[in-house]
Amino acid sequence: MDTNQPSMNPTFSVNAPSSHYLVYAENGLLNELGNILKTQGVNGTVYIISDANVWSSHGEQLVTSLNRNKLESRVFTVDAGEATKSLSTANQLYEWLASERCERKSTLLALGGGMIGDLTGFVAATFLRGIPFIQIPTSLSAMVDASIGGKTAVNLSSGKNLVGAFYQPALVLADLNTLRTLPPRELASGWAEAIKHGLILDSELFYMFEENHNELINLEPNLTRSVVQRSMEIKGKIVEQDEKETTGLRMLLNYGHTIGHALESVTHYSSFLHGEAVSVGMVAAGRISVSMGMLSNKDLDKYTAVLTNYGLPTSCPGVDPDAVLDAIQMDKKVKDKKVNWILLTGIGQSVVSSAVDTRVVQDTIKDLCS
C-alpha cells in the first residue's frame, strides 16, 4: 500500500458472536476502496446499491478505485428518501441481482446513508439466503450508528423497520471526507445519533459535544475524526456484548427512538430527518425521566441546549399527538403490550424501564406537539 496515502489501518474491529469484521474510519478512504477490498479477499463483481444523489457525488471516485484494482462493478441506484426503504424496492433489487447472475460468493456494496445501508443489508440477508455485503456510509448518522451492528430492515406503512434481520456486514468503510458534501441539516441529523451515545453511556463524549459545537459543526478535521471514531467504537462494543438485544444493553441505543420512529411514521417520513425525529424523542424521553424522578431538570436543560446548538428540533408542533401515541404501540420494544422505555438517570447513564405511567407519556407528547 502506498505509504503516502492516509493510514489504511483499521480503526477497530467488531467481534460479534455471529461475525468478526473490521471498521475503517478515516479521511480519503474512497480512493483506497479497491485496494482495501483486495486485501480483504474480495474478488469478482461487486454489486453497488446507492441512491441517485450519493451516486452523483461519489460514484465516479468509487468506480475509479475499483477499476484501478481490477474489480468489476454493477450499479443500481434508487430514489433518495426513507420512502424507498420498502419491500417493493427490495423486490426490484432481487430481480436485478437475479438478472445479473449474482452468486452467493458475490459482494453487495451499500454506498449511502442509513436508508441505503438498511435496504442493502436486508437484501443481502435474504437473497440466495445470504450473501456478503459491505457498508460504505456517506452520512454521519450512518457512520456512527446504522452501518455497525447488523440491523437490516425495510419499512411497512404501519411502521418503521418492521421487516428485517440481524445480518452483520463483512466490512465497514467510512470516508470522513464525504461528510463535507452533506447539507447542514443532514449533518445535524447525524450529530443527534452521536450525541445520543454520549447521553446513554459516555459523559465525556457528551461534554466534548457541549464544549466544541462550533468546531464540530464546521467539521474541524482532528476533532471530527476523534468524535466520530469514538462514537462508532461505542456502537461496536455494545454490539459485541449484545448482538441481538437479548440482555437489554443494545436496547439502550434506542434512546429517543421510540417516539422518534413514531414521529417519522405518522408524518410519512416527509417532515423529519431521522436524527431530527430522534432529537425530539430524546427530549421526550428526558422529560419522562424527569417525571419519573430519575433525571434532574438541570441535566435535561443541559442536553436540550446542546441539541439546539447543533440545529436540532426539540419539539414537534402541529403533529397529531394521538397518532404518535398509537404509533408507539407498533414499536419493536413493546413486550406484553408494554413499551420498554430507555430513560436517563444522568448524563452518560441510562436504563430500560417498562414501569412508565401512560399519563406521563401522554402529557409529554401532547406538550411537545402543542
220 given a catalytic annotation: no
245 given a catalytic annotation: yes
233 given a catalytic annotation: no
Catalytic residue among 196, 197, 257, 333: 257
Calculate helix-pair angle for 184-201, 203-211, nearest 10 degrees: 140
Beta bridge partners of 46: 73, 107
Cα(134)–Cα(139) distance, integer angstroms: 15
The neighbour count for residue 72, using CB atoms within 10 Å, is 12
| Alpha-carbon radius of gyration of the chain | 20
Chain-centre distance for alpha carbon 1: 30
235 given a catalytic annotation: yes
274 given a catalytic annotation: yes
Catalytic residue among 58, 160, 197, 235: 235
The neighbour count for residue 151, using CB atoms within 10 Å, is 25
Residue 263: which of 284, 248, 247 has the closest Cα? 284
Cα(75)–Cα(128) distance, integer angstroms: 19
Q: What is the DSSP letter of 114?
A: H
Catalytic residue among 196, 197, 230, 250: 250
Cα(113)–Cα(266) distance, integer angstroms: 22
213 given a catalytic annotation: no
DSSP track, 250-276: GGGGGTTHHHHHHHHHHTTTSS--HHH
257 given a catalytic annotation: yes
129 given a catalytic annotation: yes
Catalytic residue among 85, 196, 230, 274: 274
Catalytic residue among 35, 155, 161, 254: 254
Chain-centre distance for alpha carbon 252: 14
Catalytic residue among 32, 193, 243, 276: 193
Catalytic residue among 186, 243, 245, 276: 245
- Are 219 and 161 in contact by the 8 Å Cβ rule? The answer is no
Which residues are part of the catalytic machinery?
129, 151, 193, 235, 245, 250, 254, 257, 261, 274
